[in-house]
Structure 1
């Protein structure tokens, strides 16, 4: 069996590369694999044409072609060959207010790609349901993302006096502003991964938050951040999946996340669920974790068990069974 994987340009981001690298390393034993990255990182017509032409030149009638995400429009080059498309979320529609741009995205990132693909993999049930509100299709299959095996349980005595709270991401959806406000007056150190905006730094000073910041970490660096923290903080207002929840659980850390889908699905009752719109809800989560040892330990144990669902071996076996149906 031969599978050709197509990735977006690496300058757009490495998150999809990371997820599939974990998967591919397990599939390598039973599948012949080729990996391609499209040459253009933009989404203007010239970039799209270049990427579609590149993909067309890599098509192979004997192979399964797997578009790993973000570059859905290159499916136009794969009509007539076996194809799998992974859709991570519909943020490309949800964030577009211009009706003409939204129509373009709907047609060339959703409608035509789904019509062309043999199977569409959704990384959560939430993504599947969101797609079904846009298009009725029987091609959808849910396969979760795999957690990188570099994440392993690491014991650490909880720092009651000044816990380290690890916050992943500084984008609009990561809810850092409410996190900062929620931590006002709670002795802790806030460790933020991602480039801070000027207004976020101003908020840190306003609420007198002891914090540090790091960007562009290696995989080993990310692993060490989880290992060194006491609490993983991920109260997002929007997510396609929520890998930090699983990475935190796999490391053996208590996780705070939002009571929205797909984070409810991913956490599976093994995290502190908060209302991401309410500062008081987020604040109460930290206070309970710090003061209630039995509660915290119970969640950590449940998290370690939950993380097994997302092992590379488990997810790779699901993809392998999927590919076999297309042979």
Structure 2
């Protein structure tokens, strides 16, 4: 059985959850004898495929960022995907994002669509008016032979927003790619006592409400910090907020690679995940793998994925966030209990399992 993927996510992402998902999926499928995979790609800067073992391509101007770079990549990559589609030398097609360009070249071949979340639908005000991802997604959801949702929560949202037939959707969980190296020392000057916040600080990630919730805790303990990993430098608006809360010197930001990230998880007092919405929540598994106590929102997919491995709070309440943080910071036994339960919970998730379940879906389309 041969599965054809496409260029989309490896054209647009250097780092990111979706390209990592396809990298891990195809890597695992490659280990089985039953499946041949192909990713048509001519140029890319994607980090995960950089060793060129999965696909040979040209790493073009990887250290330069300029306007129109993605358009140039698309100019080369899209026709190459179209060429492979036209040749029809595959059994199942699995696009890596929502551009429906391929529909006219598919013939009668089945295609599988992975839906990661419904952020465009739930938080439409966050996206520019000319963003057509939601319309494209809706079209492909209608046309797909099978849909993979990465959580029961995402499946429920698909049914709610698009009216999708439940029998068409299969839930396949993701895995974890982050494991701390023993005795690694980064040589980065970092605070001794800190809570960790990971990734984007955009609207639905709920950073502002989180920081307001913990401000009084930071004010009472000047040796306690919040470390923001990734998400870019603080904006002027964020700096103003931190100044007004009198915690500007206790909230720091770092851009980190995976190895450094694992070290920051491992050494944090706790990882706080106050997101208002997640399709899955990969950082949940990362914190489990690194032995970091998890505090997270009690909404969307997070309770489904974290199970009993987290201390939960209401992400819409600063008071609830504050109380949960205090409870965990002041209780060493609770922190140790969360770490232990996190390691146990992690055993339910792996990329090998993701690949096995996806393979079953591919096969079901050929019988």
Q: TM-score range by the shorter chain?
A: 0.7 to 0.9
Instruction: Report deviation, 1:56.
Output: 2.8
- TM-score scaled by length of structure 2: 0.76
Q: Structure 1, residues 296-316: CA drift from partner, whole Å, max 9, x if none?
A: 221211111111122122222
Query: SS at 1:238's partner residue?
Result: coil
Among candidates 219, 227, 230, match of residue 266 of structure 2: 227
- Residues 3 and 258 from structure 1, CA distance in 2 versus in 1: closer, same or farther, beyond 3 angstroms? same
**Any conservation in 2 of the 1:67–1:84 contact (CA below 8 Å)?**
yes
Among candidates 50, 70, 88, match of residue 116 of structure 2: 88
Which residue does the alignment assign to 2:57? none
CA distance in 1, matches of 2:19, 2:133: 22
Number of aligned residues: 316
Instruction: Report deviation, 1:226.
Output: 1.5
Q: What's the C-alpha RMSD, in Å, of the aligned pairs?
A: 3.3
Query: SS at 1:269's partner residue?
Result: helix
- Residues 38 and 267 from structure 1, CA distance in 2 versus in 1: closer, same or farther, beyond 3 angstroms? farther
Among candidates 211, 226, 229, match of residue 180 of structure 1: 211
Greater mean alpha carbon deviation, residues 77-86 or residues 249-258: 77-86
Query: SS at 1:166's partner residue?
Result: strand
Q: Structure 1, residues 177-202: CA drift from partner, whole Å, max 9, x if none?
A: 12211222323211102122221122
Which residue does the alignment assign to 2:299? 260
Among candidates 298, 302, 313, match of residue 274 of structure 1: 313
- Residues 25 and 189 from structure 1, CA distance in 2 versus in 1: closer, same or farther, beyond 3 angstroms? same
Query: SS at 1:114's partner residue?
Result: helix
Q: Structure 1, residues 146-194: CA drift from partner, whole Å, max 9, x if none?
A: 111x425979xxxxx9631110121111111122112223232111021
Which residue does the alignment assign to 2:154? 127
**Any conservation in 2 of the 1:38–1:55 contact (CA below 8 Å)?**
no
- Residues 286 and 131 from structure 1, CA distance in 2 versus in 1: closer, same or farther, beyond 3 angstroms? same
Q: Structure 1, residues 264-299: CA drift from partner, whole Å, max 9, x if none?
A: 111112101111011111111111111112222212
Instruction: Report deviation, 1:2.
Output: 1.8
- TM-score scaled by length of structure 1: 0.85
Which residue does the alignment assign to 1:21? 23
Among candidates 62, 83, 94, match of residue 66 of structure 1: 94
CA distance in 1, matches of 2:24, 2:131: 34
Instruction: Report deviation, 1:74.
Output: 3.6
1:161-176 superposed matches below 5 A: 163-169=193-199, 170-176=201-207
Instruction: Report deviation, 1:230.
Output: 2.1
